[in-house]
Amino acid sequence: MSFDTNSLSPGARLRAAWTSGPLTLPGVFNPLVAKMAERLGFSAVYLSGGALSAGSGVPDIGLLTLTEFAQAAQLTSQATTLPLLCDADTGFGESFNVERTVRIFETAGAAGIHLEDQEMPKRCGHLSGKSVVSAEVMAAKIRAAVAAKRDKNFVIMARTDAKAVNGFDDALDRAKRYLDAGADAIFPEAMESRDEFERFAKALPGAILLANMTEFGKSPYLDVKTFGEMGYRLVLFPLTAFRVAMKAAEDALRDLLQNGTQIGSLPKMQTRSELYDFLGYTGYEARDRVYFGGRQ
């Protein structure tokens, strides 16, 4: 029996998407990119704290606020029918703050969030200099997040950064404790080999696991099919589109400065008609005529 998944809550749609996984999860750095991902056939999208921070001109060290994250989540979720998984850093505080964080992301239309066990000031997961809170503190945050959600299907994912700080065994032990605390899924950050990814998955049979394939980090580049065979349900590409777009913007600006014209960049551009197509511009025009003229 088939049913319309769009009638489900965002969290339920995300769970349905990973059930048929492995799920390729692209980072979308603005609402238009989310529209593109949906048009191209992706089943879910991701809002990266790293991309949001970089796009705001600051490093990913916990400088942005919950309000800024929630506004980006709301605009993105409104632009697409795809379920949106959001980076929620360390939860923007302790357990009571995490309760509020969950409720605000739910209200914004997100399908779920992931919380990480770093201490503030946090770091990008693939950089050195990180430190982690105790497993007990993080487990308390997970329990608070689970208790706060109004929709039972809203996804609470626990990310552990302990591998780079305390080693593989501590990361695995923390993952088990976070699952016991009620986490729906686990995000083991900064695995350094295929063997580590495999060992982690084998030690947690049946768990919903996310593999992070960020570029220029500590993890080897593996494809979605390979991760699926290991047992991972989600494979995250948090900054792939962002990095390509930023390089393209840099190249276009350099060419403009050097040549005084944008002509050389025209073949690389999305055209006006392509942009309007993604935006659904003709639909706005048609509705405007109906509202003011009473005719289609």
Cite the active site residues: 46, 60, 87, 89, 114, 116, 124, 159, 189, 212
Is the Cβ–Cβ distance between 211 and 138 less than 8 Å?
no
Q: Is the peptide bond before 238 cis (omega within 30 degrees of 0)?
A: no
Rounded Cα gap, residues 54 and 219, in angstroms: 21
Contacts of 136 (CB under 8 A, 6+ apart): none
Buried b (16+ CB within 10 A) or exposed e, 93-103: eebeebbebbe
SS3 203: helix
Rounded distance, CA 188 to CA 209, Å? 8
Residue for token digits 């997961």? Answer: 125
The Cα–Cα gap between 161 and 264 comes to 44
Q: Which residues, listed in sequence order, are joined to residue 160 by a DSSP beta bridge?
A: 188
DSSP for 146-197?
HHH-SSTTSEEEEEE-HHHHH-HHHHHHHHHHHHHTT-SEEEETT--SHHHH
Please state the three-class secondary structure of 237-293 as a single string: ECCHHHHHHHHHHHHHHHHHHHHCCCHHHHHHCCCHHHHHHHHCHHHHHHHHHHHHH
Residues 6+ positions from 98 with CB-CB distance below 8 Å: 91, 92, 115, 141, 144, 145, 148
